[in-house]
Amino acid sequence: MPVRSSASFTFIDLFAGIGGFRVALEKLGGQCLFSSEWDKYSRQTYEAWFGEAPHGDINDVNIAAIPDHDLLAAGFPCQPFSLAGVSKKNSLGREHGFRDATQGTLFFRLAEIIEAKRPAAILLENVKNLRSHDKGRTWRVVRDTLEELNYWVFTEVIDAAGWVPQHRERVYIAGFDKRRFPGIPHFTFPGPPPSRPAFGAILEPSPDPKYTLSAHLWEYLQTYAEKHRAKGNGFGFGIADPKGISRTLSARYHKDGAEILIAQGEREPPRRLTPAECARLMGFDIANGKQIVVSDTQAYRQFGNAVVPRVIEAIGREIITVLESPPRPEVPFELT
C-alpha cells in the first residue's frame, strides 16, 4: 500500500494527454504521484496546467521507480492483439496468458505496471469501438488480462451528453484488486446529473472572424454532403443546435470543423468552434488557470482526444466510495 499523505487517495496518470483524469481526480481530493505522456505538445499543455512535465514514452519508464498508489488511471491506446498460438504454447509449457496475447502492445506495458504495483483500483477509458475492434479480440484480451491479474472488472459505455452538451460515447473500465477486496465490491457506474448546460452556453459572444469557414470550404462541404445524401447515407457536416447537444468532437476537428459548425445567418458561411469553446465543450475550465498554450491545430487535437473530466469525476467518486468501505468477505456463491 502507498504511503498515506494529506490527500484522501493517491493516483498515477498514464497516457495522460492533457490531464483530464488529473483535473477530475484532484478535484476529488486525490494526489497525483506520477504521470506519463509521449506527445510533446500534450506534454507542453500538461506542464503549463499542473506545473510538472509528465514522463515520456511509457516503454522507457522504469516500473520500479513508479510510486505505489491507490488508483491507476489511463486512457490507453487501442491496438490489435494476437491470440494465435496460445494453446500451442501452453502444450509446449511456454509462457502464455496476457504476456503472450499482448506482447508488443502498449496495453502489455499497462498490464505490467498493474501487475507490479497492485493498485487497489484502476480506471481505464477508451473509445466505444474498443468492444468491436479487431472483431472483438481486443476487448476480449483487455478484459481477460485484467481478470487474469486478479481484478474484479466492471465495464460500461457512458455518453458524456449527460454532463456536457456533446454526444460522446466512451467505454469505461473500473477494476478492484481481489487481494484487497476478496468479495465483489458494491460498485456501480454513475448516472448523469439532473441537468447539463445547452450547447449555446459554451459559445463565445464575439469569436474571431478567422474561425468562419471560407466560401470555398463551405461550398465543398455542402457538395460533399449532398453527394452522400443522394447515396442514402448521412455523411456530411453538422450544424449544432444551440439549445441541444453537438456531435462528438474528434481529433480531426482542425481539418475543417465539419462535424460541429455554428450557423451565422443565411448570407455568411458557418464557423468552427474556437479552441476555447472546444475546451468548454469537453468540460475544461480554462478560465481557472488552465490557458491554451499550443497552436489552434494542436489544441483541437488535444481536446478531441481528451477525456471529459466531469464524467471521470462522477466515476471516481464511486470508486472512492469502494476504497473507503470495509472489504466484503469472499463468498463461494450468491443465494438467489
CATH code for the domain defined by 199-304? 3.90.120.10
pLDDT in the model for residue 91: 44
CB-based burial label for 68 (10 Å; 0-12, 13-18, 19+): middle
CB-CB contact of 159 with 169 (8 Å)? yes
Q: pLDDT at residue 209 above 50?
A: yes
* Residue 323, SS3 per DSSP: helix
Mean pLDDT of the chain: 89
| pLDDT of the residue at 286 | 78
| Contacts with 110 (C-beta within 8 Å, 6 or more apart), sequence order | 14, 58, 74, 76
Choose, from 7, 53, 78, 203, the residue flagged as catalytic: 78
Catalytic annotation present for 78: yes
pLDDT for position 89: 40
What is the average pLDDT across 178-194? Answer: 95
Give the pLDDT band of residue 245 (cuts 50, 70, 90).
very high
- The mean pLDDT of 190-212, rounded to a whole number, is 94
CATH 3.40.50.150 fits 9-196+307-323, yes or no: yes
pLDDT class of 244 with cuts at 50, 70, 90: very high
% of the chain at pLDDT higher than 90: 74
| Residue spans per domain, the chain | 9-196+307-323, 199-304
pLDDT the model gives residue 1: 42
Report field, pTM of the whole predicted structure over 0.85: yes
